[in-house]
Chains A and B, each alone.
Chain A
Amino acid sequence: MEPHEKLLVDTDYLEEDVHGKMLSCTKCHGGNPADKNWETAHKGLKKDPSYPDPSKSCGVCHEKAGEKNSTNLHTNLKPYMSKMALRMNPDKEVQAKVLKAMDTHCMSCHSSCGQCHVSRPKSVGSGLIDGHLFQKKPPVETNCTSCHGSRMEKEFFGKNEGVPADVHHVKGRMTCTDCHKGGEMHGSKEAPFDRYAQTNRARCKDCHQEIVFSNLVKSIKPLRHPSHAIHRDKVSCQVCHSVSYKHCYNCHIGRDKKGIAYFKTDPSVMDFKIGLNPNPTKDRPETYVTVRHVPIHKGLFDHYVKDALPNFDKLPTWKLATPHTIQLKTPQNQDCLSCHAGTQFYLTEGDVRPKEKKSNENVIVPDKCSLNVVHNWLPNTDRHLKSIGCLTCHTAFSKRPEKDCNQCHTLKSILLTRGFIIEEDCSWKEALTRLEFTNKEILERRDYIIGCNRIIALDYIGILLIIIIFIICVIHGWLRLTIVSRRRGRAG
């Protein structure tokens, strides 16, 4: 943006923008136009009339948004503060120094009504977006990504090397405001402890829902894959559908010899990690979520005050994350075994730095038991696992399959009704009930074989044969005993 573009008010603002037509400059920004001395005329001028309190500017007309200003996360950064407070030293003197450091380094990173809808945020250099014309939806390039750039922008638009752009951008040409609506941006009635606890935040299910016909409307993208029902409330959407995203480490703040504030971090790392949800709630009940390492460090404030964060371990450094690298197909959702037979996607103890292990103990995924151990109740475990598809037992309707062999090994086998298609015109039921001796195709597909129950005719033939032989023996024996005893009687 050129310097003059940042400053000059476009005449279109006065002619086209409702604010320009209805409100004078001084109504919002203050000042005294009658004063001929420019210095005194500009006395009390407000560069951003909406910050920190918009109630006498924007809030006069935009009451609802104005009322929520105190709880608006873009304005107050409350979750950031409340989490730092948990880690912070309770000593008042230390706290004062920490808060002063935060004021310098952290709290400047905020926005306001004007810094989204009229100009860029002050923390990224300000400057009018478009000659003071009000933007109903702040532009992504100048506003959203000017703050949310290093992570969200690069993830969503595929600017991280080797990581594809988010499918919503690629396929849907969607931008930030398509999901993050005004309601969410202006906050909720209560300031949440965590930004994910905000009640009106964007949710995947706003657009994607499992198929429930009663609420199926055109705008809903139905989730047809049975995995969604199986993993419902167990894993977050991102666990299956996001790819690598950015992790930051070791933020340190300070002032250089000239007194200029600076911060430095270790080089960021691209990775994908599934961790345990440290705080499952009704709203976010999943056991497994994607986690991101945040740049917090125990010595973050060391330049200003030592031992500022003695309770560092109270919160994890691997934090719940919703990466914006969503893909339909990801390495971890290729098949069930991607997640259920290995640890490469999980945040394991080995992934966590030794000094951070305690703080992340509720997030680290314990060593996963091998499939064979989990399924060792099955006789011939290996063979069962090789020949039965996971979904045969773990259906959407049986979250915890019964450990009952008779489910499959019976004439009324559940396999007959599970609807696995072998050929286009042939269901499992048809295939397995055919009076045929060969099952080469089924075996080659490594699908399940029920056994010899299928040839009912052989059962009948066998039973009949045994009965006939038994009857012959009985008749033979009866005749033998009767005739011989009679003959012996006569002879005797």
Chain B
Amino acid sequence: MKRIYLHTLAERIWHWLNAALFIILFATGIQLHWPDRFSFFKSFSHAVLVHNWAGILLVAVFVGWLFYKLISKRMSQYILTKEDFYPGMFIQTKYYLYGIFIDEPHPYIPSEKNKFNPLQKLAYFMTMFLQMPLLLISGILYLYPDCSPLIIKIGGLKTIAVFHLTMAIVFACFLVIHLYLSTTGDTIFSSIKTMISGYEERREH
């Protein structure tokens, strides 16, 4: 078995903090969206309060993550190279659609400096640099609609609300895929263990 140090302590803390906040935000968001059907929290107003604070914390966590990545120079892990687009993505897609069923080894071996495969890079890049900012900005505008005349220009609170909801749906889809793909390591729970310990244990072929 080979042990590779993939995730630093800061990254792991960020990941699990992010996960916890997303669970809270999903739960409260569902209650806010269908208050007549779901009541995970004591009341609607409690759900609003928790959702608002969790959202603000998520902004803080995201900003912290951004600083950390910039300072630690680990941002390059998210940058797609030419090779990542082709043949990288093709090889990785083929693996998920075929290779994984015939127990082929993972086409990309992660390292501390380059820990994501091309598809992961694409997904995480989109998530962290497009979807997450859009989700957070729409949330902030939804929370403080008076702070910007932008809201009127783009069609009002309802547009913001619908956009925020759309981003929430995208993140929900991401979460399902993310959770499933976390089971595609050497064993079902190996990726989760890696995310806890920071080390990936990989069979040597």
Contact = CB atoms under 8 A, between A and B. Distances in A.
A in complex with B: yes
A378 B33 CA distance: 18
Dominant secondary structure at the B interface? helix
Contacts of B173: 465-466, 469
A443 B180 contact: no
B7 interface: no
A398 B93 CA distance: 61
B159 interface: yes
A437 B158 contact: yes
Given A438-B156, A473-B180, A410 B36 contact: yes
A437 B157 CA distance: 10
Contacts, number: 108
B66 to A, nearest CB: 28
Contact of B184 (A377, A469, A480): A480
Interface residues of B, number: 39
Given A483-B102, A484-B103, A406 B176 contact: no
Interface string A113-141: 00000000000000000000000000000
B71 to A, nearest CB: 35
A477 B183 contact: yes
A8 interface: no
Nearest to A403: B45
A454 B36 contact: no
A244 B19 CA distance: 64
B33 A379 contact: no
Contacts of B44: 404-406, 409
A453 B145 CA distance: 18
A473 B100 CA distance: 13
Interface stretch (A155-163, A317-325, A444-452): A444-452
Contacts of B161: 449, 451-452
A484 to B, nearest CB: 5
B17 interface: no
Contact of B158 (A438, A462, A465): A438
B61 interface: no
A44 B31 CA distance: 93
Contacts of B165: 452, 458, 462
Given A438-B158, A442-B156, A469 B102 contact: no
A409 B35 contact: yes
Nearest to B158: A439
A308 B50 CA distance: 66
Contacts of A383: 145-146
B186 to A, nearest CB: 11
Interface residues of A, number: 42
B43 interface: yes
Interface in A429-488: 437-440, 442-444, 449, 451-455, 458-459, 461-462, 465-466, 469-470, 473, 476-477, 479-480, 483-484, 487-488
A476 B35 CA distance: 34
A480 B101 contact: yes
Contacts of A442: 156, 158
Contact of B157 (A410, A449, A455, A476): A449
A449 B48 contact: no
Contacts of A465: 169, 173
A411 interface: yes
B180 A437 contact: no
A355 interface: no
Contacts of A473: 176-177, 180
Contacts of B140: none
A92 interface: no
A348 to B, nearest CB: 32
B169 A462 contact: yes
A275 to B, nearest CB: 36
B33 A452 contact: yes
Interface in A360-414: 377-379, 383, 386, 404-406, 409-412
Contacts of A488: 103
Contacts of B23: none
Interface in A325-382: 377-379
A227 to B, nearest CB: 28
Contacts of B36: 406, 410-412
Contacts of A470: 176
B75 interface: no
Nearest to A442: B156
6 contacts: A437-B158, A440-B155, A458-B166, A466-B176, A476-B96, A488-B103
Interface of B: 32-36, 43-45, 48-49, 52, 96, 100-103, 145-146, 151-152, 155-159, 161-162, 164-166, 168-169, 172-173, 176-177, 180, 183-184
Give 10 nearest A-B pairs by CB, closest first.
Answer: A405-B44, A452-B161, A462-B169, A473-B180, A439-B158, A438-B155, A443-B156, A439-B156, A452-B165, A449-B157
Interface of A: 377-379, 383, 386, 404-406, 409-412, 437-440, 442-444, 449, 451-455, 458-459, 461-462, 465-466, 469-470, 473, 476-477, 479-480, 483-484, 487-488
